[in-house]
Chains A and B, each alone.
Chain A
């Protein structure tokens, strides 16, 4: 591979890693920060894409449409977390219920299973008109970096605020949080909503980048997000809020890079989901198997 091709591959993976990185950040927020196994992802990702696409087709400013995607995702997260906290439906089930329900909602929003965006004004087509950003790879990367920087700084600040602290503590020790006078239902609702907002934002941006929305484009997104989070943790062993956030983004980058390499090596696109599942299985199994080899005591299998 010549250096230019390597550069193209890396910057393309970086762009992909950043836009899917919002999804990874959302998954990191629920699974790791809140210890809330939220499976709404597959639905809220498409919800964001559908809302952004429909609004853009209707001629709405693409930045507003992207923000609306984020807002729609917040609503999806609200639904899941309310099912869990107010109706006491287990988190896993609440997420699956909302995810399934969202499939119908997404179809309703789009009006048909597939919606092209090719000649519409998107955040990417707007960026491509700026001087120096004419090349597809460059403007895609610039938009992704700008969005990622904004999201990173907001999250990095938020998770250190008084409310953000309560949110992090909720996933760490719920009893302690209630003991400090905080309603853990509220922190859960807030956290799951923000996470799904990020996931839908990811969907909205991806839809604009690839130029279409498909009602099935969310399948396996939760596993992709998990893969990114796990890879990030394994590679960067992060400590502290900022590094954990960067690790999620970095994990998404590495994951997309691996997929791009697999495609270049001649793997059929349809097989990528299996590869993703295999990555997550290996990443989860390796620490366990290491302990087995060292004959350490092991707790029983967790139920979620």
Chain B
């Protein structure tokens, strides 16, 4: 019964997706191995896994950066498997780990936002930033609390990494894409800025009921944010928990779950060394 319901509201479906890099050479890497994933409308999924587990490859495949070797991706029943990146961008918003990737430095804040606002719309010969749009940009920037709403004509290159990442998040969600992909988007930020960006992420995702896939290295963060948790290992999804299942878990429980599911000992101690040193808990 439950399965039938979730089938009905499934927004994004990945069916037996495989991706192999450097195929046929000694460097061959099976980045994704017959992945099956149903993303329901409104899901806020945290994806964790060690380096090389296939997390970023998964996002790249969804975003159309490259097509999968095998398998099928459908969005609202429409096959998007071989759609290229800029076409996928019409319904996928994305924030990268590196703040430099999401914004254009030599353009102003309002010009960057105008670029993002027109995602999925035809672009014409109207002047890109008009009064009405500026109001919209200000309204979207104000909740950041960074004062960017008063600096629409500032070149983005003069902003700090955290400010740029916050702007990148607002830009990725401005046109309300069907799916939001967050690729370790707070990993390079200082704790305070990371918390601001994370709070803003939660706020936007909740307010817009945006379907979100957030990749992170941080188990604590994955437990505390989102309504679903996926753990990847060697190109497979080894753990998939819903809100109720992950509600009372600790990082230790997660490690145990990982070892049971993957049949291996957990070796990526980067997530274990400082389990308490998680953004937003001790720092603030």
Contacts and interface: CB of A to CB of B under 8 A. Distances in A.
Chain A contact-residue range equals 20 to 34
B86 A181 contact: yes
Given A173-B105, A176-B115, A163 B123 contact: yes
B101 A162 contact: no
A180 B118 CA distance: 7
Interface string A176-201: 11111111100000000000000000
A181 B89 contact: yes
Contacts of A162: 114, 118, 123-128
Interface stretch (A78-86, A101-109, A153-161): A153-161
Contacts of A161: 124-128
A166 B115 contact: yes
Interface of B: 85-87, 89-90, 93-94, 96, 100-107, 111-112, 114-116, 118-120, 123-129, 155, 171-172
Contacts of B106: 168, 171-172
Contacts of A178: 85-86, 89
Given A160-B128, A165-B111, A176-B102, A183 B123 contact: no
Given A168-B107, A169-B107, A173-B103, A180 B119 contact: yes
A167 to B, nearest CB: 10
A181 B87 contact: yes
Given A157-B127, A169-B115, A183 B86 contact: yes
B225 to A, nearest CB: 23
A220 interface: no
Contacts of B126: 161-162
A177 B96 CA distance: 14
Nearest to A184: B86
Given A181-B89, A184-B86, A166 B123 contact: yes
Interface of A: 157-158, 160-166, 168-169, 171-173, 175-184, 239
Contacts of A176: 101-104, 112, 115
Nearest to A168: B107
Given A171-B106, A176-B101, 9 more contacts: A158-B125, A162-B125, A163-B125, A173-B104, A176-B115, A178-B85, A179-B93, A181-B89, A181-B118
Contacts of B104: 168-169, 172-173, 176-177
A161 B127 CA distance: 4
Contacts of B118: 162, 180-181
